[in-house]
Amino acid sequence: MAFRNSALPILEATAPKARARLFRRLRRGVGVTLVLLATTVGAEPAQAASRIKDIVTFEGVRDNLLVGYGLVVGLNGTGDSLSNSPFTRQSLESMLERLGVNIRNSKLNSKNVAAVIVSATLPPFSRQGSRIDVTVSTLGDSKSLLGGTLLVTPLIGADGQVYAVAQGSTVVGGFAAGGDGASIVKGVPTSGRIPSGGIIEREIEFDLSNASELNISLRNPDLTTAGRIAKAINTLLKVPAAVVLDPGTVLLTTPPAYANNMVGLLTDVEQLSVEPDQLARVVIDETTGVIVIGDKVRVDTVAIAQGNLTIRVTETPQVSQPSPFAQQGTTVTVPRTDIEVDEQSGQGLVLVKSGVSLQDLVDGLNALGIGPRDMISILQTIKAAGALQAEIVVM
């Protein structure tokens, strides 16, 4: 608005020829501005880079798995049958004996107890006394853990040491109900969670701050990506502190500027952006018919034709009977058969040119009008012909 208001008095006071020249100059100026803007927008690089922290894991910064065996009590008749689950009976007897109750020669028939496996994940650098979530899953024939309470259960690691103790009320997302004529089950009532139900009793020692070197592991090992990570780190530190050991590992050595400060070094390193490279790969899930084609997949010049022979036989028998009040005749069934043959002759060859992009490849396959199942066969056939420059992974 300010430009228009200040320009109008000048245009009104200018001769017609001068005014026309001024308009032409303004139009040229506007045109130049638009070209510069278009050039600037077009020159902006594609935002395909990822942070290093999103594509790697650092040595020592990892979870640890815990597991334990326990009992869930307080169930409303949905627990294990003690006659069919001897481990539940033995566990119940042992627990009561530790509490001073002897029931060895008694006949138990409780349906309110269930034996469960308790699992949890110990986060990295968890401290003693902090809490973690735990998951409980039935072992016997229990119908539901709804309303149950897990008794004190030690959780051990792969080395056999106890790292946490779990106890608490189970939270079940599903339920089961039924009668003589019908029943309904929603979700999985035989598995539940106990939020903050585990207390850490033992810490895993790892001195990250004073480490002099550390391995950086790529989640998707690739030599090109590993080289780009090392180059980005060395550019930041201005010293060759990162060395590629293999496609999945980059060794990071602490430079003098970060002596005894590995945490600060990783804080700066994990924010760097690199563009991950990927293999040319086609992933096929035969069970669900899902096909995932990577962006690097290329196809040599090939012609594709797809057709199926379909034979449809339809039986429509008819009943033939004598006319009313006829002296002779019997009722018989006359067969009527209709046969159709569909060779799908309308589908011809589709040409896929050499070095086409992923979009061109998908467009060419879609032009055949086929479903995922047939597309899986076509991709495998192209690979067998040596025209698909990619790896096929069948799940």
Per residue in 194-226, pLDDT (tens digit) is: 999 999 999 988 888 888 999 999 999 999 999
The tally of domains found in the chain comes to: 3
pLDDT score, position 36: 31
- DSSP E strands in 74-200: the ranges are 113-122, 131-138, 149-156, 162-169, 175-178, 183-186, 191-200
Whether 219 and 189 map to the same domain: the answer is no
What confidence tens digit (pLDDT) does each residue in 141-165 have?
Answer: 998 999 999 999 999 999 999 999 9
Average pLDDT over the chain, rounded to an integer: 79
Q: Report the amino acid identity of residue 124.
A: P
The last residue of one of the domains, among 254, 274, 294, is 274
pLDDT score, position 313: 61
pLDDT at 356 exceeding the cut of 80: no
Burial class (CB in 10 A: 0-12, 13-18, 19+), 374: middle
* Most confident by average pLDDT, 15-29, 45-59, 343-357: 45-59
Asked whether residue 23 is domain-assigned, the answer is no
Chain CA centroid to CA 74, Å: 37
What global pTM score does this model have?
0.66
Whether 167 and 287 map to the same domain: the answer is no
Of 122, 123, 131, 127, give the one whose Cα is nearest residue 166: 131
What confidence tens digit (pLDDT) does each residue in 293-313 have?
Answer: 887 888 777 776 666 545 566
pLDDT at 322 exceeding the cut of 60: yes
* Most confident by average pLDDT, 101-105, 133-137, 388-392: 133-137
Asked whether residue 263 is domain-assigned, the answer is yes
- DSSP E strands in 228-349: the ranges are 242-246, 249-253, 273-274, 281-285, 290-293, 298-299, 302-304, 310-315, 318-320, 332-334, 337-342
Whether 73 and 171 map to the same domain: the answer is yes
Whether 184 and 230 map to the same domain: the answer is no
358: three-class secondary structure by DSSP? helix
Whether 70 and 196 map to the same domain: the answer is yes
Cα gap 238→381, rounded to integer Å: 50
Q: Which residues contact 31 (CB under 8 A, 6 or more apart)?
A: none
> Could you give the percent of the chain with pLDDT greater than 90?
37
| Enclosing domain of residue 266 | 213-274
Asked whether residue 32 is domain-assigned, the answer is no
Whether 143 and 236 map to the same domain: the answer is no
pLDDT score, position 319: 76
Whether 229 and 248 map to the same domain: the answer is yes
Whether 72 and 194 map to the same domain: the answer is yes
Whether 305 and 266 map to the same domain: the answer is no
Which carries the bigger pLDDT value, residue 331 or residue 157?
157
pLDDT score, position 355: 62
